[in-house]
Every structure is written in structure tokens, then in C-alpha cells.
Chain A
Amino acid sequence: MAEKTTILNLTEEEFVHSGNRACTGCGLSIVYRIGLKALGKNSVLVVPPSCLTVLQGLYPVASTKLPCVNVTFASTAAAATGVRSAMMALGKDDVNVVAWAGDGGTSDIGIQALSGACERGDNIIYICYDNEAYMNTGVQRSGTTPQGVLTTTTPIKGKLQVKKDVPAIIAAHGIPYVATASAAFPLDFYDKVKKATTIHGPKYIHVHTPCPPGWGFDTRYTIKVGKLAVETGLFDLYEIENGSFSLSAPSQRLVGKKRPPVSDYFAAQGRFKSLDTDMVNTIQQQVDAKWAA
């Protein structure tokens, strides 16, 4: 990778207005601000219904300074293909075409269009911000909600099924770049988005975005909770570049080290309170086995 971005050389130009409609402590608003800095002015955004629709504001006021088309829920990646096709037809090949969708919009209703765009090799960047439920509609379970999580549609027992591994599904398409990131490590995310702008073909970045109201933690703990997800070994940061896997620094430095127990992460949030000790132990064993491999 090129030189790592630091807080000292991060661009000062902003593409998201302050005072937008995101909730206090929103993990998405961190990565959106940082991600647009990495993309720069010569970019077009494609956004389906999601928290980002809310963040962007209500007509006729918008909080995003980049051109953006809001599209139907299932069509994000196909719409990005449409923008790319138009840019090619108009001879504006240097424009970054960026789909930016939530986890429900990606792992559930939008996965067919995303799979189609990946299979076709369309030259787009697709960013999935994963707050692990349908937060915009009031915390319903999604394909990426982890096992055991209480949502408004898994209100008593918690979600029975495991989290869908979307980056692995997308990587199975053989696209040139897949990465995971976290709102708790914004500069790592910045560098990944920046790298994506230099690669031709489909690029997929899956970014973990803690959500205070949906996950049940105080708004000041967004970064802390996000870091715990990575440091406990539950959410791994990595890149798959042309099929070659590498752990990113925040996860790489856990190798061979003692990690905090996953129970620290669960205890920091209200959404895991239906997990019993057996379940926590089972998850700890799964994480340990994954890291032992």
C-alpha cells in the first residue's frame, strides 16, 4: 500500500456538511465524512433507502457536496453500473462511481444486483456500511445481524441465525478488491477507499459502523465499541487484493497476542443481553478457533 494516511496529512476539504440529520454518535457519519474525503470531488454517489438517505437531508436541502442519485432499495449496484455506463458514453471515465448502501440494502434486498455487477466486472466502488440491522426503519434484523442480537423483530430470544459473511460472498466473485474496515479505524478505511479509486473493476468495502440507539450504548462509546469488535477478534479487518488475503494493521497486531474476551464487547451493548453464558462461551471458542487457524 502507498504511504499510510495520518491525521497530519488527511485532507481538510469536507464533502459532508456539519449539522446533518445523522444521530449523535453515528458510526456511519464518521466513515461517510472520511470516505468522501478519500473519494474527492470527481465522484458520483448512488444511495438506496438507508440511514444515509436521512443523513443526506430533506428536499431541497442536502448535506452532501457530491452529486448523488437516490435509487430504489434493490437496485443500488445496478444503478451504479448505469452511472458508470453513462460516464463511459460521455467520455468521463475518470469519475469515481460509488454505491453506498447499508447492510440490509446489501446483504438482503440488494445482493442480486450487487452480484450481477460483480460478475459483469463493472467498474464501480461499492461501500456497505454495516450497522447490523435495519436501523433506519427501527432496528429490525437483517442478514448481517449477529447471532443472539435483540432487534425489534427478534425481540425476546435474539437472532437465532449467524451473521451473513457478505465480504466472503463478494470475494467469491473473484473481483479485484474486497476489504473490510471499521468506523473505529477511520484512517484505515480512508486508505482502503483511496486504494479502491485506483483499481479498475468492481471494488467492495464492508465497513462496520456502530450504532448507539440500535446497539444500546452511550453515544460517546462509538469508537470504543467499534474497537472492541476488532480487538476481541469478532470483526476482522482485511483486504483481498486480486485474490491475495492480508490482515490490516488493527487486526494484524492481534496475531499471537492475547485478545480481550468477546464478553467485553457484548457487555458494552444492550443488544446482547439475552445471550447466556453458554452462548458467550461458544462464540468465544469459535473466535479462538478462527484465530488459531
Chain B
Amino acid sequence: MHIIESGNVAAATGVKLSRVQVIAAYPITPQTPLTEKLSEFVESEQLTAQYIPVESEHSAMAVCIAASTAGTRAFTATSANGLLYMNEQLHWAVGARLPIVTCVVNRGIGAPWTVWNDQQDSMAQRDVGWIQLYASDHQQIIDSVIKAFRLAQTVSIPVMVCYDGYLLSHTYMPFDLPEQSEVDAFLPPFVPKHFLDPENPGNFNTVTLPDVRPGVDGTMRPGYIEIRHNLHQDLRAALDSYAEIDREFEQRFGRGGSPFVEQYRCDDARFVAVAVGSLSYQLRDVIDTMREDGIAIGVMGVQMYRPFPDQAVASALAGKECVIVFEKALSYGNQGPLYSDIKSTLYRMDDRPIIHNYILGLGGREIKTQQLLDALTESCARPAAIEDTPRWIGLKLQEEHHG
């Protein structure tokens, strides 16, 4: 069944269909309509779940951590400074290997205050160890939430489903609503091997020594570094798990097939634009225009950012002349984070493409399609060198800041 709704309602509906058992949330723009919808689902008994209106994002993730440790499916959502306030808890959730799903409705970070969209919030969390999925439209939001719960409990690693604030969260689009029975068949209940159980008591997240140590039964147990090594290995293995989950989702729901990167007119392209989220769809219009002018260009949307799908990225970009990375985030003092990651992936190639980096749209600065066209035209005309300083789009600097 197709409905027309907002991106936040798409996310909330995905959470409901996933039969989440515990929800904790603290309001922050532009996440608020998502949690309002969930509280409505719970109060109207369309969803049987505990809804905890916590007093902070730190506590929101605390509730999810504890509820997940106790063996229930837990969810929260946030944006911007709320996500940053959770930072310690994000590390804790993944260290404890809990299958929590969190929607991040992407927004710029203060100071100065901004409520508008960019992707600095989730990009700044790339090293915490969570899996990060990015949606480009409402269908991908609802589908990603359902797939995220399945992936999280398959690999025992929490998943962020990120989508652009306002551009997706508050706009209305048609999307297909999966059948509850189909979702139930796709997403089995969460049944952990170990959980907080008075019948079988265990002590979770105790102080762990630098070295390995025998348990009371004499078997050697891992030290901190082994536990962290295993997390990294499992994150890498999550790439294969997600490919398999995406295949299964496609068989059941008829959507999917590009779990890591979504390519548009890339097959015969000499140039490839790269972006995350809704910007990758906006770029499709530009690519169509340039194609009409005979420029062999395509666009690649990155759908999973952590673990980084380097093989999918490498095979998508192999043999291209120039790769142009557009980012609504910046590793300050260096370059765009996605640009760094793609450059690192290209390093292994003998015949590496040239790669350019554009920073744009920070704090919700409007991204005009003409600006994208101008930038791509410039990069395609002069793909001469790799640049380590990103170019900025749409800056309106005051006189004294020039040069």
C-alpha cells in the first residue's frame, strides 16, 4: 500500500512495523515529529511498547542500553547536539554489543546555533563503532529502519539510520508501506544469548584488564584489546551480512539490490559525482543535464558509511577519470571525511582517478542545482590534480575574510 507522508512518519512507521519494545526519546528539532508519532502509536495502542520520555539524550541512550541488555528491542532518535550529548553512550552501546537502532535526523551543530540540515552530526560519530546507513528518500528511510533492526541483531552491533533534516524529515513523499506479516517474517524477535536474567545471573561490562585472564573454570578470557579487535572484525563482516539481508529484503519486498552504493548513469561514465543522502538524488538532475550536453557523468550515493564499503566503492569508481565528492560535513583542519575515505580506497588502484572535494550546504545553506552544475562542469573540464584543500560552494564571504 502506498501512502504519502513525511520522512519522520516513514521512520516512525518502520519502527512500529519492527515491533520495537522500548522507546526512549528526548525532543530535538528536526527529530521531534518522529518521536511524537511514536508516542501517539504507543498511547493509541497501535504499538505495544514502553515509551520513556527521558530528561536528556544521554538518558535516552541509557534506557536503550539497559533495555537491550535486558533482552528487548530498543529504539531512540535524535539530531545534532542531542547525538553529541549521547556520544559516551554511543561508545558504550557498541562496546556492550547491543542491537539498538537510532534514527539520526541530520542537522548542523552549534555553536553558533543552527537547526538546519547538514551531516556533521552523524559524520562526527563515524569512529564510535556503530553501523551507519544513510537514506536518500522516504522509501529508503522506512526500509532502512526495518533492515537496520535485522542487521543489528544479526551482528550484535547498533545501527544508525541517518536522513537529512527538513529535506527528508519534513517533506512529504509517496512510499510503499510494507505489510506487517511480511515484516514479521523478515525480522524475527530479538532473543539474545545473554541478558539480565535473575535465573541465570551475569555481570555485564565489568572492568576488563589489559591482558587476557582465566575465568573461574580456568579457560582464558579476552582482555580489552581482544574484545575491541573482535568488534572491528565483526564490523567488517557486517558488510557481508548486510548484503545478504538486503538480498532477502529485495526478494520479499521487491526493493533493494544496492546496499552500499547507489549508482546512477555510472556504467559508461568518465566522471562520477559522489554524495550522501538526499543530495545524491538532487545531483541526478544535474547529471541528466550534463548527459544531454554529451558529458559522460554519473552519480554515486553512499548508502552505508560505516563499516566503509571500500570494495563496493572501489569497483564503482575503478577506471573513472575524475571523482567529485560533495559533502555536508568536514573534518575540520583537514578535508571532507568521505573524501578522505574514498581517496584511501582509491590508493590501492594502479590507475587512480583524480578526486575533487566540495564542501557545501553547512547549516542548511540552500544548495542550488545550478551551483552543482557549475562545480561539476568545472571539475570535468579541468580534472588535472588531486586537491587536498576542499573547494567551497556558495560562500558569501565578507571582504576581510578573502585570501
Contacts and interface: CB of A to CB of B under 8 A. Distances in A.
Interface of A: 41-44, 46, 53-54, 56-62, 64-72, 74-75, 77-83, 85-90, 95, 112-113, 115-116, 119-120, 122
B56 A67 contact: no
27 contacts: A43-B198, A59-B206, A59-B209, A59-B213, A60-B214, A61-B213, A62-B206, A65-B201, A68-B202, A69-B65, A69-B69, A71-B62, A72-B89, A78-B24, A78-B55, A78-B56, A78-B59, A78-B63, A81-B24, A82-B63, A82-B66, A82-B69, A83-B67, A85-B24, A85-B63, A86-B21, A89-B50
| Size band of the interface chain B makes with A | 35 or more
Given A44-B196, A82-B22, A56 B89 contact: no
B202 A78 contact: no
Interface in B51-87: 52-56, 58-72, 74
A57 to B, nearest CB: 7
B331 interface: no
Interface on chain B toward A: helix, strand, loop, or mixed SS? mixed
Contacts of A72: 58, 62, 88-89, 92
A79 B66 contact: yes
B221 A81 contact: no
A26 to B, nearest CB: 17
Contacts of B65: 69, 71, 75, 79, 82
CB-CB nearest 10 A-B residue pairs: A82-B66, A116-B55, A86-B70, A78-B59, A75-B62, A78-B62, A82-B63, A62-B203, A85-B50, A79-B66
Contacts of B201: 64-68
A61 B216 contact: yes
A86 B92 contact: no
A41 B199 CA distance: 8
A85 B203 contact: no
Contacts of A57: 203, 206-207
Nearest to B51: A85
A121 to B, nearest CB: 11
B56 A44 contact: no
Interface in B202-242: 202-209, 213-216, 221
A40 B212 CA distance: 33
B378 interface: no
Given A67-B197, A72-B62, 20 more contacts: A58-B206, A59-B209, A64-B203, A66-B201, A67-B196, A67-B198, A67-B203, A68-B203, A69-B196, A69-B204, A77-B59, A78-B66, A79-B63, A81-B24, A82-B69, A82-B74, A89-B49, A89-B72, A90-B71, A112-B55
A119 B49 contact: no
Contacts of B69: 69, 82-83, 86
Interface in B291-311: none
Contacts of A115: 55
A79 B206 CA distance: 16
A53 B205 CA distance: 10
Nearest to A74: B58
Interface string B1-34: 0000000000000000000011010000000000
Contact of A116 (B56, B88, B92): B56
Contact of B56 (A89, A90, A112): A112
Contact of A86 (B60, B72, B207): B72
A120 B203 contact: no
Contact of A41 (B198, B206, B209): B198
A53 B72 contact: no
B70 A83 contact: yes
A22 to B, nearest CB: 14
